[in-house]
Amino acid sequence: MSQRQVLQVFEQYQKARTQFVQMVAELATRPQNIETLQNAGEPGARTRVASRALSPRRLRPAALPVELLGSRSVGTGVRKSIHSFQRVFGGQAERVKLPDACGRCALSLFPSSLHTGVMSLLRTLLLDVVPTIQQTAALALGRLANYNDDLAEAVVKCDILPQLVYSLAEQNRFYKKAAAFVLRAVGKHSPQLAQAIVDCGALDTLVICLEDFDPGVKEAAAWALRYIARHNAELSQAVVDAGAVPLLVLCIQEPEIALKRIAASALSDIAKHSPELAQTVVDAGAVAHLAQMILNPDAKLKHQILSALSQVSKHSVDLAEMVVEAEIFPVVLTCLKDKDEYVKKNASTLIREIAKHTPELSQLVVNAGGVAAVIDCIGSCKGNTRLPGIMMLGYVAAHSENLAMAVIISKGVPQLSVCLSEEPEDHIKAAAAWALGQIGRHTPEHARAVAVTNTLPVLLSLYMSTESSEDLQVKSKKAIKNILQKCTYLPALEPFLYDAPPNILKHVVGQFSKVLPHDSKARRLFVTSGGLKKVQEIKAEPGSLLQEYINSINSCYPEEIVRYYSPGYSDTLLQRVDSYQPLNN
């Protein structure tokens, strides 16, 4: 009989441990419990809790934890589980009543330099004999570390990581998944924490996990690697040096969609930092597989694949050419019609990154009909989703005038002017203004195409408005200047005479002075629309460029008309009347 009693004690202990760890794991899913979990089990827990003023009423100190329990029913579960655990482990029934005493005895049994409450408890449970408890403890740790970076730092400081890494190599797949989850949760917050993970040698074990048979383990390991590689180039290089990239490429070919997603996002985060890393990814043969999967109907997968391809192609011409050789056109254009906003955004980002390098690549995009697709995509989106498309049009038009003409005949200019006037955000407006400037600056034909859509007054108003950001003002000024220098479409220039600031007025008048001497109809129109009058009213310093332009305009007209329209002519006439002596008195 006594043997049974002894065994019963052990069973109780195991049950208590299991219950504790399961409750903690469950509670850690909700953020409001995590604070309580953090502070539970500490010797100064009561006073700490009182200082947090959870309940406004003043209470006897001994009753405070009970009050806590009453105010949050969930906290009850926390306390209870911790109490029961401590009770059993303390092995003495009398001490159950006082939580702090139990806490003290518990803590005295777990010597750790940092009493971070539940962390230290979970740390010892990680080395438990029973595998289920280990796994659940790891899961609970992961959820805690996921919540905020203080807890993640606490995980690192409590030396939990080396234990995790050590046992990762030899445990079953559930433990591996949970441990990879912890590493991911710790690594995602900041580069220092990710560096700590790398320093304790976790990368090799994670790479070993990538070779596991179970897709869940592979997914967890790939996710952890992704979060580590995301921060900066050195960490990405460390991940690549551990040999992760070929395995990730293998993971992409697996049938499970979740695994494909994570592997694609990991490759994307590795490749985004520098051209060498992108080259490593390409050398592992990722581009062909990624390009094949563009046709997959899953929206999140497409989003990650397009992001990966755009990160690879953004660094240099060779990489962009390699991506293009994988025959993504015209399949990528179908992604521009997808329902999901992120897929559209990433697809237009990819096309932008390819088109921006050289005129040949832009030509390729134009020949494949990419410009029309991008313009339609811009029309169907709102906000930040439009931005890559707008920039793509600007890049294409900037390379050469033929490409700019191609953009114009694809009806890009009306769309861009709509963006310019509709969008509330300044950076999108600035991008649209820049793109319009790139289109219109090549030849008078181009400038005419831009001016016909009545965008120039909008640009002018953006430049003059005090609410626009500096970037927007600078870009719109440059765009106006570039377009005006080539614009010969006079009806669009006339409004500028009236409300333009002097530095722009100079260019406008200069353009008039270039066009008017050769075109009689334009001269007539200029007079009848009141332009000549306005020009006379402009005050310019003699000898300046503006005065020269005015003079050249005046020389196009006979003197009487010029005098007629000069300001104060009526006064001079009246003066002459006054001073005129009739011949016969």
Partner 1 sequence: MATLARLQARSSTVGNQYYFRNSVVDPFRKKENDAAVKIQSWFRGCQVRAYIRHLNRIVTIIQKWWRSFLGRKQYQLTVQIQRRWRGYRVRKYLFNYYYLKEYLKVVSETNDAIRKALEEFAEMKEREEKKANLEREEKKRDYQARKMHYLLSTKQIPGIYNSPFRKEPDPWELQLQKAKPLTHRRPKVKQKDSTSLTDWLACTSTRSFPRSEILPPINRKQCQGPFRDITEVLEQRYRPLEPTLRVAEPIDELKLAREELRREEWLQNVNDNMFLPFSSYHKNEKYIPSMHLSSKYGPVSCKEQFRSENPKKWICDKDFQTILPSFELFSKYGKLYSKAGQIV
Taking the least distance from each CB to partner 1, the nearer of 128 and 401 is: 401
Report the C-alpha gap between 454 and 299 in whole angstroms: 38
C-alpha of 498 from chain center: 42
What is the smallest separation between the CB atom of 217 and partner 1, expressed in angstroms?
33
Please choose, out of 111-119, 213-221, 367-375, 504-512, the segment that lies near partner 1 by the rule CB under 8 A: 367-375
What is the smallest separation between the CB atom of 376 and partner 1, expressed in angstroms?
6
What is the smallest separation between the CB atom of 367 and partner 1, expressed in angstroms?
7
- 92, two tokens: 């003495």
Taking the least distance from each CB to partner 1, the nearer of 240 and 347 is: 347
CB 72, CB 4: distance < 8 Å: no
Report the C-alpha gap between 191 and 171 in whole angstroms: 28
What is the smallest separation between the CB atom of 447 and partner 1, expressed in angstroms?
17
The verdict on 333 binding partner 1 (CB under 8 A) reads yes
Instruction: Give the relative orientation of helices 490-499 and 456-464 as an angle to the nearest 10 degrees.
Output: 20
CB 137, CB 17: distance < 8 Å: no
Taking the least distance from each CB to partner 1, the nearer of 80 and 411 is: 411
What is the smallest separation between the CB atom of 383 and partner 1, expressed in angstroms?
20
What is the smallest separation between the CB atom of 239 and partner 1, expressed in angstroms?
37
Find, among 181, 176, 228, the residue nearest to 203 by Cα.
228
Place of tokens 């002017």: 417
C-alpha of 248 from chain center: 24
Taking the least distance from each CB to partner 1, the nearer of 312 and 449 is: 449
Report the C-alpha gap between 24 and 8 in whole angstroms: 24
C-alpha of 137 from chain center: 34
How many residues touch partner 1 (CB under 8 A)? 20
The verdict on 45 binding partner 1 (CB under 8 A) reads no
**Binding-site member from 144, 251, 371, 462 for partner 1 (CB under 8 A):** 371
CA 330 vs CA 95, 206, 339, 373, 555: distances in Å: 74, 37, 18, 10, 57
Please choose, out of 58-66, 73-81, 402-410, 542-550, the segment that lies near partner 1 by the rule CB under 8 A: 402-410
What is the smallest separation between the CB atom of 370 and partner 1, expressed in angstroms?
8
What is the smallest separation between the CB atom of 110 and partner 1, expressed in angstroms?
50
Taking the least distance from each CB to partner 1, the nearer of 370 and 531 is: 370
Torsion of CA 49, 54, 60, 61, to 10 degrees: 0
CB 359, CB 330: distance < 8 Å: no
What is the smallest separation between the CB atom of 329 and partner 1, expressed in angstroms?
10
Judged on CB neighbours under 10 Å (0-12, 13-18, 19+), 267 is buried
The verdict on 339 binding partner 1 (CB under 8 A) reads yes
Report the C-alpha gap between 273 and 277 in whole angstroms: 7
Please choose, out of 235-243, 302-310, 364-372, 513-521, the segment that lies near partner 1 by the rule CB under 8 A: 364-372
- 430, two tokens: 């600035």
Taking the least distance from each CB to partner 1, the nearer of 4 and 339 is: 339
The verdict on 331 binding partner 1 (CB under 8 A) reads no
Report the C-alpha gap between 119 and 159 in whole angstroms: 11
The verdict on 131 binding partner 1 (CB under 8 A) reads no
What is the smallest separation between the CB atom of 336 and partner 1, expressed in angstroms?
7
Alpha helices in 314-386 (DSSP H): 317-325, 331-335, 341-355, 359-367, 370-380
The verdict on 34 binding partner 1 (CB under 8 A) reads no
Q: What is the amino acid identity at position 370?
A: G
Per CB under 8 A, contacts with partner 1 among 405-464 are 405-406, 409-410
Residue 231 DSSP one-character state: S
What is the smallest separation between the CB atom of 514 and partner 1, expressed in angstroms?
22
The verdict on 376 binding partner 1 (CB under 8 A) reads yes
Report the Cα–Cα distance between both ends of the chain, in Å, rounded: 152
The verdict on 368 binding partner 1 (CB under 8 A) reads yes
Please choose, out of 277-285, 360-368, 473-481, 535-543, the segment that lies near partner 1 by the rule CB under 8 A: 360-368
**Binding-site member from 162, 369, 491, 567 for partner 1 (CB under 8 A):** 369
The verdict on 364 binding partner 1 (CB under 8 A) reads no
Taking the least distance from each CB to partner 1, the nearer of 366 and 459 is: 366
Q: Residue 17 in 3-state DSSP?
A: helix
C-alpha of 141 from chain center: 29
Binding mask 311-330 for partner 1 (x = CB under 8 A): -------------------x
Phi-psi group of 243: left, alpha or beta (phi > 0 → left; psi -120 to 50 → alpha; rest → beta): left
Other beta carbons less than 10 A from residue 269's beta carbon: 24
Find, among 286, 293, 335, the residue nearest to 311 by Cα.
286
Please choose, out of 109-117, 300-308, 368-376, 573-581, the segment that lies near partner 1 by the rule CB under 8 A: 368-376
Taking the least distance from each CB to partner 1, the nearer of 103 and 388 is: 388
What is the smallest separation between the CB atom of 338 and partner 1, expressed in angstroms?
8
Report the C-alpha gap between 457 and 487 in whole angstroms: 14
What is the smallest separation between the CB atom of 337 and partner 1, expressed in angstroms?
5
The verdict on 193 binding partner 1 (CB under 8 A) reads no
Taking the least distance from each CB to partner 1, the nearer of 415 and 473 is: 415
Taking the least distance from each CB to partner 1, the nearer of 214 and 340 is: 340
The verdict on 92 binding partner 1 (CB under 8 A) reads no
CB 446, CB 404: distance < 8 Å: yes
What is the smallest separation between the CB atom of 410 and partner 1, expressed in angstroms?
5
CB 512, CB 518: distance < 8 Å: no
**Binding-site member from 366, 430, 462, 487 for partner 1 (CB under 8 A):** 366
**Binding-site member from 32, 47, 367, 454 for partner 1 (CB under 8 A):** 367
CA 125 vs CA 84, 138, 170: distances in Å: 15, 9, 17
The verdict on 343 binding partner 1 (CB under 8 A) reads no
Which residues contact partner 1 by CB under 8 A? Answer: 330, 333-334, 336-337, 339, 366-373, 376, 402, 405-406, 409-410
